[in-house]
A and B are shown apart, each in its own frame.
Chain A
């Protein structure tokens, strides 16, 4: 997938063209953050806003000599909490079917492949909706490249609980999707 699937807001463009520590983190973490937030159910505009706010918070955090340990988990936690604050729209949008917007699957060369991919997507979307909230969040953070320890910091869970939750969620998906 292209890095430019979601357009950049103007303040983010300025951040992307800088050379500070925050800029380096921005280049590294913008895409996984956006992906996590959009998959949580935010619109692309809301996700842009949340990412922008998270990086502005990071700038203030670093300027006030805040801890530099595990900044990745720190950023995801800030973004996650902001997404939670928008939860009223969050639930509505998560249940919104994406099947009608699956034009991106039209890139497949044959109609058979297209149908198979659509069916795979539809089953997976349905199975993900059946997961509990913590299972879904653990899986999405894992898909964003976070370690169990970082996922635990974002969600306020013990590392062992994260491991159990991830395992349970993957087994559920394997069962539902007949993978």
Chain B
């Protein structure tokens, strides 16, 4: 093994003084073994560069790919909200049966809000078919007044906003049995 081999890597890295570098230059022109070793060291150096670039590229891609599912989920959620919410707003008003209204109200007496001054009702807001007509059936069994509970239901709670004129309310009269269950419901304006 020739003595110059120890200087090959510093020579490759330009770490030798000019005199030493000139000596190595002269030597490798006539030494096949040193030229081969030099080629090997050069190739290893290039491979390390390749490795470093590859690691940076791989971690950079992983960095971006971490956000892809999050962004995709956010986009899907936004699209779903965009599609679903307007449908709810313009959909048909829910049909409340007296039983459902009673279940949700659960015997809480809500004070009747003061009626608004008479406003000219806009024709497009009134849909008489959704109004619940007063029940007047004397034939039905009706409990004494002391067992009845009155609940004022704002029209907005039963119909979509704008479906009824402002200030319109309904009174639900509940007839409560001794065991606490609802026996009868009367809904009137």
- Contacts known (A6-B60, A163-B10, A179-B40); A170 close to B52, Cβ less than 8 A: no
Which of B6, B41, B52, B62 is packed against the most chain A CB atoms within 10 Å? B52
A179 touches B53 (CB 8 A): no
B53 touches A1 (CB 8 A): yes
Question: Is B68's beta carbon under 8 Å from chain A?
Answer: no
A166 touches B44 (CB 8 A): no
Residues of B within 8 A of A29 (CB): none
In the assembled complex, the CB of A10 is this many whole angstroms from the nearest CB of chain B, namely: 15
Could you give, for residues 31-63 of chain B, a 1 whenever the CB lies within 8 Å of some chain A CB and a 0 otherwise?
000000000110111011111111111111111
Question: Is A27's beta carbon under 8 Å from chain B?
Answer: no
Question: Is B119's beta carbon under 8 Å from chain A?
Answer: no
Question: Is B15's beta carbon under 8 Å from chain A?
Answer: yes
Number of A residues, CB within 8 Å of B: 36
In the assembled complex, the CB of B169 is this many whole angstroms from the nearest CB of chain A, namely: 55
Residue of A nearest to B37 (CB): A174
B40 touches A139 (CB 8 A): no
Q: How far is the CA of A139 from the CA of B45 in the complex (A)?
A: 9
Main secondary structure of the interface of A (DSSP, over half): helix
Which of A44, A120, A140, A174 is packed against the most chain B CB atoms within 10 Å? A44
B43 touches A124 (CB 8 A): no
Q: What total count of A-B pairs have CB within 8 Å? A: 101
Question: Is A156's beta carbon under 8 Å from chain B?
Answer: no
B-side interface size class: 20 to 34
Residues of A within 8 A of B60 (CB): 5-7, 44
Q: How far is the CA of A168 from the CA of B61 in the complex (A)?
A: 33
Residue of A nearest to B51 (CB): A124
A147 touches B15 (CB 8 A): yes
B48 touches A1 (CB 8 A): no
Residues of B within 8 A of A173 (CB): 44, 47-48
- Contacts known (A44-B63, A143-B48); A104 close to B40, Cβ less than 8 A: no
Residues of A within 8 A of B6 (CB): 167
A1 touches B63 (CB 8 A): no
A179 touches B43 (CB 8 A): yes
- B residues in contact (CB < 8 Å) with A: 6, 9-10, 13, 15, 40-41, 43-45, 47-64
What are 26 contact pairs spanning A and B, CB under 8 A? A5-B60, A6-B63, A7-B63, A35-B52, A35-B53, A35-B56, A43-B59, A43-B63, A98-B54, A103-B58, A121-B50, A121-B51, A124-B51, A128-B51, A140-B52, A142-B45, A148-B13, A148-B15, A166-B13, A167-B6, A170-B41, A170-B44, A174-B43, A174-B44, A179-B40, A179-B47
* Pairs A-B, 7 closest by C-beta atoms: A5-B60, A101-B58, A1-B53, A44-B63, A104-B57, A167-B9, A44-B59
- A residues in contact (CB < 8 Å) with B: 1, 5-7, 34-35, 38-39, 43-45, 98, 101-105, 120-121, 124-125, 128, 139-140, 142-143, 147-148, 163, 166-167, 170, 173-174, 177, 179
